[in-house]
């Protein structure tokens, strides 16, 4: 893996978190939804709108020049406004995005492991996510302990039990 650093996300990272949501949505080379379309869709925008709420937490990967290259974060969503990977009001949902030029270099795995460690430190016992079928990230999630608990037409909800 290329030498990267990982730091805590802050409210000042909002625009970069939006960028990483765009990267996560546009994982397919033929999908190129603009930022405006993603942020106009409430089912996607709620992953970053109002970042950083009191119970949001996340990490940012930075290159040796301290430029952000990826982010992973958890947000609690509710049954009234569920995420694609909603598993309960008390289960935070993961979003992870990596700048395209940095994919396949271990950044996603490093972020995933680090953000799961932060979740454990906060006493979180279960985390969830949604991943579209065919997304190479699904293999990463499975390798890191996530399992599918619900399947939909094009995506799966996965959870990981991370608490002691």
Q: Each residue of 83-122: pLDDT tens digit?
A: 999 999 999 999 999 998 898 888 999 999 999 999 999 9
Sequence-separated (6 or more) residues with CB below 8 Å from residue 146: 129, 158, 159, 160
Q: What is the pLDDT of residue 116?
A: 96
How many domains does the structure of the chain reveal? 1
**Would 153 be classed as within a structural domain?**
no
Asked if residue 88 is part of any domain, the answer here is: yes
Quote the CA–CA distance of 79 and 153 in Å, as a whole number.
20
H/E run at residue 140: helix 137-143
- Both tokens of 27, joined, read 């994982």
Whole-model pTM: value is 0.92
Check whether 77 has a pLDDT greater than 60: yes
Which CATH number characterizes residue 16's domain?
3.40.630.30
Q: Which domain holds residue 48?
A: 5-124
Query: Per the domain annotation, does 71 fall within a domain?
Result: yes
Is residue 139 in some structural domain? no
Does a structural domain hold residue 132?
no
Supply the mean pLDDT for the chain.
92
């Amino acid at each position: 893996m290329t030498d990267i650093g990982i730091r805590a996300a802050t409210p000042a990272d909002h625009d970069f978190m939006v960028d990483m949501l765009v990267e996560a949505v546009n994982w397919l080379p033929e999908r190129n939804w603009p930022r405006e379309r993603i942020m106009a869709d409430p089912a996607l925008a709620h992953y970053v709108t109002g970042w950083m709420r009191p119970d949001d937490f996340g990490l940012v990967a930075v290159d040796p020049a301290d430029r952000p290259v990826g982010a992973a974060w958890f947000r609690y969503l509710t049954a009234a406004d569920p995420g694609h990977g909603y598993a309960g009001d008390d289960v935070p949902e993961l979003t992870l995005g990596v700048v395209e030029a940095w994919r396949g270099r271990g950044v996603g795995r490093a972020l995933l492991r680090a953000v799961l460690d932060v979740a454990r430190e906060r006493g979180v016992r279960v985390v969830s996510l949604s991943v579209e079928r065919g997304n190479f990230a699904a293999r990463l999630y499975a390798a890191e302990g996530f399992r599918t608990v619900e399947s939909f037409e094009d995506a799966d909800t996965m959870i990981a039990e991370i608490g002691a």
